[in-house]
Amino acid sequence: MHATPKKFFNSRIATVLEAMEIEEEAVIVNSSRLKSVVWNDFDRVKKGDTFVAICRHCKRKLSGSSTSGTSHLRNHLIRCRRRSNHDISQLLTRGKKKEGPLAISNFSFAQEQINGDAVSVVRTKFEQGHTRDGLFNNGIVNFDNRRSRLDLARMIILHGYPLSMVEHIGFRIFVRNLQPLFDIATFDGVEADCREIYLMERQKVYEELDKLPGKISLSADTWTASGDAEYLCLTAHYIDDSWHLKKKILNFLTTDPSQTEDMLSEVIMTSLRNWDIDRKLFSVTFDNYATYDKIVSRIREQLCQHRFLYCDGQLFDTRCAANVIKLMVQDTLETASQIIHKVRESIRYVRSSQATQEKFTEMAQIAGVDSQKCLNLDNSFYWNSTYIMIETALEYKDAFPLLQEHDSRYAMCPTVTEWDRISAIASFLKLFVEVSNVFAGSKYPTANTYFPDICDIHLQLIEWCQNSDDFVNSLALKLKSRFDEYWKKCSLALAIAAILDPRFKMQLVKYYYPQIYGPSAPDCINIVSDCMKALYNGHAIYSPLAPNGQAEASQVGGANNDRLTGFDKFIYETSVSNNIKSDLDNYLEEKLFPRKDDFNILNWWKVHTPRYPILSMMARNILGMPMSKASLEYVFNTGNKALEPYRSSLRSDTLQALMCAQDWMRDEFEDSKASSSTVTLALCYDAK
């Protein structure tokens, strides 16, 4: 028990004696040895052989004998009207007429929104009078310690708080004062609660993936942490039955740098089998490193053995578009490092003193520089800041030589040739920044959005390779060599995804390919067209929506021992030979859909599914492929995704539980927020 100032203690005794209306020989007993938290709200007073417990809020007297227990004291605290945090029901219904019992049991953690719209929805739920578990009943609170424990664990998971916060003295004092009846969990206890929540949420995700009407694409990310620890994050990407693009983290695994490609491929296959989605896999997306080639090849080989992939996995291996841009940026910055260093040091010198800045401003006026931008150094952790630094320096390039003439201490001014090369570097980086913004600008961009920007990069690289400056030409050839490796793996998937955009269809491929391939363009277009038809035929043969109604059991990923799969193919080919137009034929022959900024391709396919039953199934699988897996948070970052130090010290199973459950709960949180906004809007319309 904390020491109490003498004056305050005497006042407390006087108040207690007044409440008891007994003589002064009654004394307050030191309750520091009493274990129950209820004594935080009661004074235990002894007179003779009698013990009395006096509520510090309302001064009511109850038995304080050790043989009486503390249940009656807890019940009093629940009903005490003067206890500041008691009457929650009154706070919720302040200013409203009470119309019966209240309940908050159907108010789940994910629905606790901070914005005003969500609060109004929650309040509406309170006032509807639904009851469950008796959490609120006619203003009487039945405290649920177990539920509060899980709410605390959900809060820690959702916001990424360290598990050790439950042992922080400030947090424990806060909770004790807020709710003395709450039994605060220990570190081990809240760790177990988090794993329990993970298992409950995992079952929900498992059931969702099991019921998907289409295929699943997988992306793999590498995370790092202090101590050279490495982690592999596997994420499922798919389009659900409502035509919404979704993604869910499946596993967050600790990896060993000594693991071979075969071992890593088996780790991924084990994860797929544990989730029972190996039969549903459509593609995988890795970063653009040769070390992943063998891993992808090994996984594809196993899936093809069981006939789980369409067209023998022709589109199975895709690489991250944002990652190839980041690698080209790294090549650019490394090649131009000496020139960029001169720019950086020039800016550092100008900003070194007030006098130098004033002198530079004077030189800029003499040179006729008309710019309102400020010279700033870049942040080495974000490559787009280097582009901004260079772009601003180019606007002042005529002022730097003048400063060198008038200030002998300034000796880092780039030459005229170097300024020309800096201008070329800025052009490279500008294109990469613009395309990266497009890739990361949407939360879940569908696969059709990438083809035009990737083609523009391709065309620009071809042009840069023809530059007469040896420096620019050499750099462009280096970038194109890296880009060509990416294009070889991904161009087919990019083109087919663009064809499934009703605003472009084959016309976008026919527009770009002659510019890229020249005389070879017709052959390249035919390759895309043939692959498109082969994919469609693969979906048609195994689709329960096909005109001839093949059994679903024989679809890809279905029974391997179906001896009539060949018969299904024969029936389909017979219908084709009878000149019956397919979904694909009808789709390609119809005119293009008008290009609009607010066009939603998933809504379009949702509406047109009855018209194109087989092609829409193919569109669901293709458009769900993650052509880029970098969010806006990481697209300009020069390093890898890094784990917080406090998380890297956790057990591997606990870490996976926290990372996965956080991802799933945030997704539910966003859905709930959107739902709350919709309900609030509906309530507003009803009020009108």
Reduce the secondary structure of 329-389 to three states and give it as a string.
HHHHHHHCHHHHHHHHHHHHHHCCCHHHHHHHHHHHHHCCCCCCCCCCCCCCCEHHHHHHH
The predicted pLDDT at position 96 comes to 40
The predicted pLDDT at position 128 comes to 38
N-terminal to C-terminal alpha carbon distance within the chain = 58
What's the farthest any 2 CA atoms get from each other in the chain? Answer: 110
Which residue type is seen at 298?
A: R
Residue whose C-alpha is closest to residue 284's, from 257, 308, 259, 255? 308
Q: Residue for token digits 């690698």?
A: 327
Q: What angle do CA 289, 290, 295 make, to 5 degrees?
A: 100
- 8 A C-beta contact, residue 618 and residue 531: no
The predicted pLDDT at position 422 comes to 96
User: How far is Cα 400 from Cα 350, in angstroms, rounded to an integer?
Assistant: 9
User: How far is Cα 278 from Cα 309, in angstroms, rounded to an integer?
Assistant: 10
DSSP string for residues in 9-31: HHHHHHHHHHHHT--TT-EEPP-
CA–CA distance from 15 to each of 3, 12, 43, 181 (Å)?
Answer: 19, 5, 11, 25
Residue 501: φ, ψ to 5°:
-90, 115
The predicted pLDDT at position 25 comes to 56
User: Is the dihedral angle over the CA atoms 365, 367, 370, 371 positive or is it negative?
Assistant: negative
Exposure class string for 354-368: b at 16+ Cβ within 10 A, else e: eebeebbeebbeebe
- 8 A C-beta contact, residue 265 and residue 298: yes
User: How far is Cα 578 from Cα 626, in angstroms, rounded to an integer?
Assistant: 37
Q: Are strands 216-225 and 281-286 parallel, antiparallel or unpaired?
A: parallel
User: How far is Cα 51 from Cα 59, in angstroms, rounded to an integer?
Assistant: 15
The predicted pLDDT at position 107 comes to 38
Q: Residue for token digits 């060599």?
A: 481
- 8 A C-beta contact, residue 123 and residue 89: no
Q: Going by C-beta distance under 8 Å and a sequence separation of 6 or more, which residues neighbour residue 492?
A: 314, 315, 527, 528, 531
Helix (H) or strand (E) holding 281, with range, is: strand 281-286
Secondary structure class of 283 (helix, strand, coil):
strand
User: How far is Cα 286 from Cα 220, in angstroms, rounded to an integer?
Assistant: 6
Q: Which two tokens stand for residue 135?
A: 């959490």
Q: What angle do CA 316, 207, 446 make, to 5 degrees?
A: 40
Residue whose C-alpha is closest to residue 190's, from 225, 220, 161? 161
Rg of the chain in Å (alpha carbons): 34
Mean pLDDT, each 10-residue run in order, the chain (688 residues): 46 48 58 72 83 86 82 80 50 39 37 41 36 39 86 94 94 91 92 96 96 95 85 96 95 89 94 95 94 94 89 92 95 96 96 94 93 91 95 95 93 94 96 91 83 97 94 96 96 97 96 96 96 92 54 39 61 61 92 90 96 95 93 83 88 95 87 52 39
Burial level of 531, CB count in 10 A (0-12/13-18/19+)? middle
- 8 A C-beta contact, residue 104 and residue 126: yes
Residue whose C-alpha is closest to residue 216's, from 626, 610, 658? 626
Q: Which two tokens stand for residue 649?
A: 């010290």
The predicted pLDDT at position 6 comes to 45
User: How far is Cα 63 from Cα 72, in angstroms, rounded to an integer?
Assistant: 9
The residue count for the chain: 688
The predicted pLDDT at position 579 comes to 62
Secondary structure class of 602 (helix, strand, coil):
helix
The predicted pLDDT at position 221 comes to 93
- 8 A C-beta contact, residue 55 and residue 65: no
Q: Is 380 left (phi over 0), alpha (psi -120 to 50) or beta?
A: alpha
CB-facing half-sphere around the CA of 645: CA atoms within 13 A = 2
Residue 655: φ, ψ to 5°:
-60, -45
Residue whose C-alpha is closest to residue 286's, from 324, 239, 331? 324
